[in-house]
């Protein structure tokens, strides 16, 4: 009996010692081994098992050994809102350490700052300038290129454009292709002084094999004879190279072939380009191909294909597709001629009140009797029932008509004041592309407060706004001229429009 009791006691003692050992071993810091992928994988496994403290310790030791990715991971962990780890001060510390350890991570963080999506820092352009200038002045070509680009986009920092030219020039001389591309564009449209298309063309020619954007820009210059003689054959070659993997470049090339001005007209080549873009599931290519088949083909099969391409777009409220379907039914292209159907499509297209839409509705209605008009009305209402117009679709239609009025209508006239109502309705429905032209239209018509509001909203939405600096300059000038009453009105209306946008 005593032997049994002793055996039980020894067994319990063994189990206790084993548990103590295992507990001790689990508390020992894991050895850092492998590269960044292995370290981050190990940390992720610890986090997934709920061992947050061990994962943090592991990452901190890796970061202290100089592993930038571990420091970046720590910054991301501490910046996760709604978790027990959330601590912006710690996040900022580790983000800064990651940036010090690795230039690529530093560049990524500067881009996040630029577009105002950094988790812990809210930087203005002057702060970015301060971050970049020391390295740029010490000869870091990447930071020279980045600083030159910052100046190019920021006339408030570089009013006469000399800083942009200086730093982009330094980076371009060091062989930075992005700097060469942006320098070429700056030379074509300098903030001050005369353009230098000859030098710009030479810069683009030097980097066409390594930069698709440069290749496309150079092709446009060769077509126009800018910076040297026109070279349409070379331009066509470059554009075909760009278009090999770019559906929008294919559509642009198809337009040139179809138009027949910059390049010789070649409808088969235009059709080939559009079919390639269509294979990439580009909806604009479907519309363009449908238009080409109706306009340039004479056989019924092509016309039926055009209707098949245009119908899904029409059901999504592409108003020009609706108009072309009206044309097909009016002329009997690919379908039987039926004027009530044609009129119903023309009326639907006239949701976008383009003059040629409205004119076609009036002209065809005048040719039809009461019975046909009733048929057209019935078909029109049936389409509205089956394909109700969404707020997003209406905003797109308003944007299209607003831009037409602002830039130039079908008769070559501009109507900036009339454009404002359409652009404002589009903007408040969430169509961000309306913001900048809406600002410009308000400036032209002397509506200073509204102009400032739309500029401020555009600058706030960095994902939809491509910075050139012009909006910032305009907004600064407008606000500097505000009276106290205008400042108060700006604050009130800006808050109201922000609330409307948030609700939509």
Other beta carbons within 10 angstroms of residue 303's beta carbon come to 20
Fold observed for domain 393-503? 1.25.40
d(CA 108, CA 116): 12
Q: Tell whether the torsion through CA atoms of 450, 452, 457 and 458 is positive or negative.
A: positive
Position 14 pLDDT exceeds 60 = no
pLDDT for residue 254 is more than 90: yes
Q: What is the mean pLDDT of residues 281-295?
A: 97
Query: What is the CATH code of the structural domain delimited by 2-78+87-106?
Result: 1.25.40
- The pTM of the full predicted model, rounded to 2 decimals, is 0.80
Mention every residue, 6+ apart, whose C-beta is less than 8 A from residue 399: 422, 423, 426, 431, 433, 434
Beta carbons within 8 Å of 472's beta carbon, 6+ residues apart: 154, 155, 156, 455, 459
435-444 vs 470-480: helix crossing angle, rounded to 10: 40
Distance separating alpha carbons of residues 89 and 296, to the nearest angstrom: 65
Counting Cα atoms < 13 Å in the Cβ hemisphere of 489 gives 12
State the Cα–Cα distance between residues 43 and 60, nearest whole angstrom. 11
Q: Could you give the angle at which helices 52-64 and 36-48 cross, rounded to 10 degrees? A: 160
Residues 6+ apart with CB under 8 A from 42: 30, 34, 58
Instruction: Report yes or no: 327 and 357 within 8 Å, Cβ to Cβ.
Output: no
Number of Cβ within a 10 Å radius of residue 319: 23
Which residue ranges make up each domain of the chain? 2-78+87-106, 393-503
Question: What 3-state DSSP class applies to 343?
Answer: helix
Helices (H) and strands (E) in the chain, counts: 27, 0
Predicted confidence (pLDDT) per residue in 37-72, tens digit: 888 888 888 888 888 888 888 888 888 889 899 899
**Confidence band of 355 (pLDDT split at 50, 70, 90):** very high
Residue 370 has pLDDT above 90, yes or no: yes
Task: Let me know if the fold of 2-78+87-106 is the same as that of 393-503.
Answer: yes
Task: Select from 374, 379, 322, 385 the least CA-distant residue to 348.
Answer: 322
Reference 142, options 187, 166, 101, 172; nearest CA is: 172
pLDDT of residue 469 exceeding 90, the answer is no
């Amino acid at each position: 009996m005593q032997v049994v009791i002793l055996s039980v006691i020894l067994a319990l003692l063994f189990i206790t010692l084993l548990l103590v050992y295992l507990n001790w071993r689990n508390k020992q810091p894991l050895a850092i081994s492998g590269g960044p992928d292995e370290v981050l994988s190990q940390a992720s496994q610890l986090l997934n098992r709920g061992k947050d403290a061990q994962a943090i310790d592991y990452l901190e030791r890796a970061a202290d050994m100089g592993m930038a990715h571990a420091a970046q991971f720590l910054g991301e962990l501490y910046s996760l809102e709604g978790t027990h780890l959330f601590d912006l001060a710690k996040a900022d510390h580790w983000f800064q350490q990651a940036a010090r350890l690795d230039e690529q991570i530093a560049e990524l963080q500067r881009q996040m700052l630029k577009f105002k999506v950094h988790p812990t820092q809210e930087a203005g352009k002057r702060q970015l300038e301060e971050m970049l200038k020391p390295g740029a002045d010490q000869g870091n070509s990447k930071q020279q290129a980045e600083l030159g680009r910052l100046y190019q986009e920021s006339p408030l920092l570089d009013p006469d454009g000399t800083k942009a030219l200086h730093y982009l020039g330094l980076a371009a001389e060091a062989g930075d292709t992005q700097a060469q591309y942006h320098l070429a564009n700056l030379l074509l449209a300098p903030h001050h002084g005369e353009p230098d298309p000859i030098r710009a063309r030479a810069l683009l020619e030097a980097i066409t094999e390594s930069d698709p954007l440069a290749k496309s820009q150079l092709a446009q210059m060769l077509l126009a004879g800018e910076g040297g003689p026109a070279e349409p054959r070379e331009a066509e070659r470059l554009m075909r190279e760009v278009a090999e993997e770019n559906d929008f470049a294919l559509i642009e090339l198809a337009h040139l072939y179809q138009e027949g001005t910059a390049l010789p007209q070649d409808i088969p080549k235009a059709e080939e380009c559009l079919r390639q873009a269509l294979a990439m599931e580009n909806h604009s290519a479907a519309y363009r191909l449908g238009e080409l088949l109706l306009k340039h083909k004479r056989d019924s099969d092509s016309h039926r294909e055009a209707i098949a391409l245009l119908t899904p777009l029409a059901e999504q409220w592409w108003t020009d597709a609706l108009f072309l379907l009206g044309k097909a039914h009016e002329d009997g292209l690919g379908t039987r001629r039926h004027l009530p159907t044609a009129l119903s499509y023309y009326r639907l297209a006239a949701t976008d009140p383009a003059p040629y839409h409205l004119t076609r509705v009036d002209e065809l209605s005048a040719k039809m009797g009461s019975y046909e008009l009733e048929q057209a009305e019935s078909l029109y209402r049936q389409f509205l029932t089956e394909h109700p117009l969404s707020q997003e679709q209406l905003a797109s239609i308003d944007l299209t008509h607003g831009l037409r009025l602002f830039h130039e209508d079908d008769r070559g006239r501009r109507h900036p004041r009339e454009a404002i109502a359409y652009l404002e309705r589009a903007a408040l429905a969430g169509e961000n592309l309306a913001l900048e032209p809406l600002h410009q239209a308000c400036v032209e018509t002397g509506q200073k407060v509204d102009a400032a509001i739309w500029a401020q909203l555009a600058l706030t939405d960095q994902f939809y706004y491509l910075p050139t600096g012009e909006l910032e300059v305009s907004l600064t000038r407008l606000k500097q001229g505000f009276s106290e009453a205008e400042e108060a009105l700006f604050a009130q209306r800006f808050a109201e429009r922000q609330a409307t946008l948030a609700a939509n």
